[in-house]
Amino acid sequence: MGIWQGDIKREKNIHIPDSLLKKTLKMLITKNLIKEVVNVHNKSKKLLMATDFEPSKEISGGEWYTDGKFDTEFIGALSDACLSNIRRRKVATCDGIVGWIRKVGSDVFPGGVSKGQVEQILKNLVMENKVQEVTSTGFGDFESVPVGEVCYRLVKKGAGGVGAMASIPCGVCPRIHSCTPDGVISPMTCQYYQKWLDF
């Protein structure tokens, strides 16, 4: 829904000087009849379109671009808002976060945010291992979220996973140095190992 300045002359086969064309386009822009749109794929090639139209995502870059530039400030602020809401609630749904942002975040996000934007941010936070995507059980921290609904919670830091040797009794056994296959202390006579196998 837009046209490049060079294409105007080429398509219509009009022979007018560049200065006159530029002056005319500038006047139409100042009268708010047309606007220049930056193409994210070719920033030097600005498209002209009527002010009534919105550029397609292929041209504008979508909701993460502002004036043809990737809006890292907006993304950072939205990520922080999502993390803040999850931290405050302990467990939050995408709809809950969107509702909270629309209610209290109008100063930070004057244009508002869409559910799709929040979903993308939450997926990114999961990939960055900052939040976990979990399913509500309806108990404990999940009591405010219906059972089976997807929700998000902060990743617990410092809780580190159990190492491979710690998950079997031999890895934490105080007698491991005395343990031999033929000795008094052996896997065949070890009560801890037998309990672990029976589990």
CA 154, distance to chain mean position in Å, is 14
pTM higher than the cut 0.75: no
Distance (Å, whole) CA 182 – CA 192: 17
Instruction: Give the pLDDT band of residue 199 (cuts 50, 70, 90).
Output: low
Mean pLDDT of the chain: 82
pLDDT digits (tens, 9 = 90+) for 35-85: 888 777 777 778 888 888 887 777 777 777 777 678 888 889 999 999 999
pLDDT digits (tens, 9 = 90+) for 106-115: 777 877 888 9
**pLDDT of 104 higher than 70:** yes
- Contact indicator for 186, 179 with CB cutoff of 8 Å: yes
* Residue-range domain boundaries for the chain: 3-60, 72-154, 169-198
Q: Does domain 72-154 have CATH number 1.10.10.10?
A: yes
The domain at 3-60 falls in which architecture?
Orthogonal Bundle (1.10)
Average pLDDT over residues 136-157: 85
Residue 190: CB partners within 8 Å, gap ≥ 6?
169, 173, 179
Distance (Å, whole) CA 86 – CA 93: 9
